[in-house]
Structure 1
Amino acid sequence: MITNPHKLETLNRQLDRQKIPYRESLAIFEALLNEAILLGAVNSENMLDGIDVDIRIANAINKVGSCSKNC
């Protein structure tokens, strides 16, 4: 539970300004993925569940504002 949203927002802004090297970002991602697997939130059977919906949403978002005047 978030008890101080102002502090969380400040932390998020500070983290957004930091430049993290690719290898460090990858290590963080892998650690989070491994934790999710250990907790049972993700497994090889359900990893791609719902990806078709995610792809359709991403396509719709990417098309917003990309049409010319003729759309």
Structure 2
Amino acid sequence: MIKNPELLKQFEDSFIKDEGRLPFDKSIKLFASMWNEGVKLGVLPPKDPLEGIEVDIKIAKVLNSCLKKSSQE
């Protein structure tokens, strides 16, 4: 859980400014490492991967309708 989002934002901005964006291969390695850490901690994979899917679908419908309305204007 992120306790100080402003500090994280500053770190991300500084990192991107100094290092540039991560190449795809490094991003995949980072993701795989974080996934493995989650597995070791017992929080990944989720017990029920479809838990909360209804909310995600409702949000997607709202966002898609907004996109359609804005493209018609």
Q: Which residue of 2 aligns with 1:33?
A: 35
Check 1:55–1:37 CA distance in 2 against 1; reply closer, same or farther (3 A cut): farther
Note the C-alpha offset of 1:42: 1.0
- Percent of aligned positions with the same letter in both sequences? 27
Q: After the TM superposition, which of the residue ranges 40-49 and 17-26 deviates more from structure 2?
A: 40-49
User: Hey, which of these two has a bigger chunk of helix by percent?
Assistant: 2
Structure-2 separation of matches of 1:16 and 1:66: 33
Q: Which residue of 2 aligns with 1:14?
A: 14
**Structure 1 gap ranges (5+):** none
**What is the aligned length?**
67
Normalising by the residue count of structure 2, what TM-score does the alignment of the two structures yield?
0.59
1:58 corresponds to 2:32: no
Check 1:48–1:21 CA distance in 2 against 1; reply closer, same or farther (3 A cut): farther
Q: Please provide the CA RMSD for this pair.
A: 2.7
Q: After the TM superposition, which of the residue ranges 16-25 and 54-63 deviates more from structure 2?
A: 54-63
Note the C-alpha offset of 1:58: 3.3
**1:27-54 alpha-carbon deviations (Å, 9 max, x no partner):** 0000000000110001374345434543
Normalising by the residue count of structure 1, what TM-score does the alignment of the two structures yield?
0.60
Given residue 44 of structure 2, which amino acid in structure 1 is its aligned partner? V
**Structure 2 gap ranges (5+):** none
